[in-house]
Amino acid sequence: MTSSANDYSGRYRESLALLGRAESAVPSQAQTFSKSWTQFPRGASPVFAERADGGFVWDADGHRYIDWPMALGPLLLGHNYPAVNDAVAAQLSNGAAFSLPTVAELVLAERLIDWFPYAERARFGKNGSDATSGAVRAARAVTGRDRILCCGYHGWQDWFIGTTTRGAGVPAAVSALTTPFPYNNIAALTELLETHSGAVAAIIMEPMGIVPPAPGYLEAVRDLATRHGAVLIFDECWTGFRIDLKGAFGKFGVAPDLACFGKALGNGVPISVILGRADVMDVFDEVFFSFTFGGDMLGIAAADAVLDVLEREPVLAHVDEIGSALMDGFRDLVEAHGLAENIGLSGYPGRHVMEFAGDGQDGLLLKSVLQQEGLARGVLAAGWHAPSYAHTHDDVKKTLDAYDAALGVIGDGIARNDLPQRLMGETVQAVFRKP
């Protein structure tokens, strides 16, 4: 069995030409690392997109793909969802930015406070990083402490990114104030809180990433935060509206002091929000969380429309159905091709991630070949899926057919010991490199 990559020489000619131009204009040739050419096999994959609709995206060469990353997760309803587009268009005719607060931002704040039982106040931003960084600053202000304990990914700001391999430009003194802790390990968190007793301003965490919380884990974190006087912040930029309409609280029944939402709240229109208890949130009277486009009306209008759709349509039931079919089908294919030792799958229907091992390249060669072969058959994925309301069972079938062929190429390459020769582009790179 040979790779289909030999059949599409020149398929990405326009994308690669644009990449050449971008090398002289844009550092990293993309605005977001996770969307850049490094996340796909360069030379055997598209680099630039031109348009999208529903569950599909078209590249600069005119090829259509089933879109599974969905812009890194915001598009829970799908591209160009009519109710959201109509709300944004209507707002454009009435103005997008104002010199005073708007009635609409107050109404949305009240709606979100009603939506989440633990919320008493709301402040809006544009990106998830706005919300997480604002929440951390509020926690420091209200506690008078400096240290932050974090678990998960929380954006590009200094206080967090300095703990990763992407910390270039972050002063060591800033990085030293944030300490990561492992998920589902209450003993490790307890030890950190005791080591830094009286110094921890906040515990900020994704309440669930790919792995679900162990029974009692989030409850134990909640108890530790209370006992140590630390503000508990849930970063729900991913889980918000995707695991439950009320996020982690709705799914697990644990209330944070502050919670940060973004992504799905605007269905692709930039907006984020910090929600939480009044006694913590009211510190924003003094904390400087203020920027020109806080309360931007396009995001406000989009979010209000998204909430309307979530209230009346079976969005999460559909996403669970589509995601479950995709997960079950992929696992069956991996077993059928005898690749269970090399390829796995973790997560939940609304967000799941492939795991690769045994290729001598930390799984990146396997991932690259799978992507290459999927792309050749009209499937855009970066080793993970974020199903939307726009995706259909036909999309799942076509995706699984593409993966069936791709796994065949991989299995044959492993059997013949020539898998590296099956890759017609460059091996993908990890966003966060090994230290």
Q: Is the pLDDT of residue 112 over 80?
A: yes
Contact 131, 274 (CB under 8 A): yes
CA-angle at 171, arms to 165 and 175, nearest 5°: 60
Q: Do strands 258-261 and 272-276 pair parallel, antiparallel, or not at all (unpaired)?
A: antiparallel
Q: Which residue type is seen at 178?
A: T
Residues 6+ apart with CB under 8 A from 287: 134, 137, 138, 141
The candidate with the shortest Cα–Cα distance to 409, out of 354, 434, 372, is 372
Task: Find which of 13-22, 291-300, 337-346 is predicted with most confidence, using mean pLDDT.
Answer: 337-346
| Residue-level pLDDT at 5 | 43
- The band of 2, judged by pLDDT with boundaries at 50, 70 and 90, is very low
Q: Which residues belong to CATH 3.90.1150.10 in the chain?
A: 4-79+316-422
For 114-152, write each residue's pLDDT tens digit. Answer: 999 999 999 999 999 999 999 999 999 999 999 999 999
| Residue-level pLDDT at 434 | 60
Q: Which residue type is seen at 119?
A: A
| Residue-level pLDDT at 431 | 84
| Residue-level pLDDT at 1 | 42
Residues 6+ apart with CB under 8 A from 353: 210, 345, 346, 347, 383, 384
For 344-393, write each residue's pLDDT tens digit. Answer: 999 999 999 999 999 999 999 999 999 999 999 999 999 999 999 999 99
- DSSP code, position 157: S
CATH number of 4-79+316-422: 3.90.1150.10
- The band of 7, judged by pLDDT with boundaries at 50, 70 and 90, is low
| Residue-level pLDDT at 33 | 87
Contact 280, 138 (CB under 8 A): yes
Mean pLDDT value of segment 40-48: 94
For 230-264, write each residue's pLDDT tens digit. Answer: 999 999 999 999 999 999 999 999 999 999 999 99
Helix, strand, coil shares, percent, the chain, to 5: 45, 15, 40
| Residue-level pLDDT at 398 | 98
CA atoms within 13 Å, Cβ hemisphere of 108: 27
Contact 65, 375 (CB under 8 A): yes
Helix 393-415, helix 364-376: angle, nearest 10 = 130
Mean pLDDT value of segment 166-188: 95
Lowest average pLDDT, out of 5-19, 89-103, 257-271, goes to 5-19
Strand partners, 261: 273
For 255-295, write each residue's pLDDT tens digit. Answer: 999 999 999 999 999 999 999 999 999 999 999 888 999 88
Name the H helices within 144-238. Answer: 158-161, 172-175, 186-195, 217-227
Mean pLDDT value of segment 170-188: 96
| Cα–Cα distance, 302 to 289 (Å, whole number) | 22
| Residue-level pLDDT at 432 | 81
User: Among positive and negative, which fits the CA dihedral 298, 51, 129, 217?
Assistant: positive
The CA–CA distances, whole Å, from 333 to 71, 137, 407 equal 26, 47, 8
CATH number of 97-295: 3.40.640.10
| Cα–Cα distance, 66 to 54 (Å, whole number) | 9
Helix (H) or strand (E) segment spanning residue 261? strand 258-261
| Cα–Cα distance, 276 to 126 (Å, whole number) | 18
Give the pair of three-digit tokens for residue 420.
């590296």
Q: Is the pLDDT of residue 3 over 60?
A: no
Return mean pLDDT, the chain. Answer: 95
DSSP-derived 3-state class of residue 79: strand
| Cα–Cα distance, 102 to 104 (Å, whole number) | 5
Give the pair of three-digit tokens for residue 198.
């009286």
Q: What backbone torsions phi and psi does residue 93 show, to the nearest 5 degrees?
A: -75, -10
Q: Is the pLDDT of residue 335 over 90?
A: yes
Mean pLDDT value of segment 285-310: 94
Mean pLDDT value of segment 63-69: 98
| Residue-level pLDDT at 8 | 55
| Residue-level pLDDT at 4 | 47
Q: Which residues belong to CATH 3.40.640.10 in the chain?
A: 97-295
| Residue-level pLDDT at 239 | 96
Q: Is the pLDDT of residue 14 over 80?
A: yes
